[in-house]
Amino acid sequence: MNIKLIGMVLLAIAVSLVVAGCTDIGSSGKANASPVEATWITAGVSADQVSIPLSFVEENTNVHFKVNTDSGEIAVMTYKFNDEIFIRSNVCPPCNSIGFTLDKDTLVCDSCGTVFDAAEGTGIGGGCMSFSKESIPYTISDGNIVMKLDDVVTAHEKTVEIN
């Protein structure tokens, strides 16, 4: 009798482990819906600061926006990965495009398909992988993600340089 009970318990545990291994559960305990295409939003720009609502990133996971600067329009991406928010320059210089899809732990160029590491911004594979996506420092204040306009420009300039 005890052998049958032990066998049933072990079977139940094995089935539970198999089912858990067949799902894509992130560290937040929520299923990752991959790939996540970007939602374009409008950023607020005031003097030397750029801001977007934190709730937009929380709700959409991957958002993109454009900022007008003295050197022209710059595209920026903000995404949530492993419960952390990342902000990067949103340009793929060789294929002359903007826009990236968040696919599990990578960013994939919507135009040429080049793949970048989502946590580091470095190229993994594809024709444009030598153009790492530079990070933009930010703070969170009153429910907004805030960055300096100069930091946005600097990240863009570094992204368009070959590594």
6 burial (CB, 10 Å; 0-12 / 13-18 / 19+) is exposed
What does pTM read for this prediction? 0.79
Burial class (CB in 10 A: 0-12, 13-18, 19+), 125: exposed
User: Prior bond to 35 cis, omega within 30?
Assistant: yes
Closest CA to 144 of 49, 68, 73, 17: 49
- pLDDT per residue, tens digit, the chain (163 aa), is 567 666 565 555 655 544 444 444 333 434 355 899 999 999 999 989 999 999 999 999 999 999 999 989 999 999 999 999 999 999 999 998 999 999 999 999 999 999 999 999 999 999 999 999 999 999 999 999 999 999 999 999 999 998 8
Domains and CATH numbers, the chain: 39-159 (2.102.10.10)
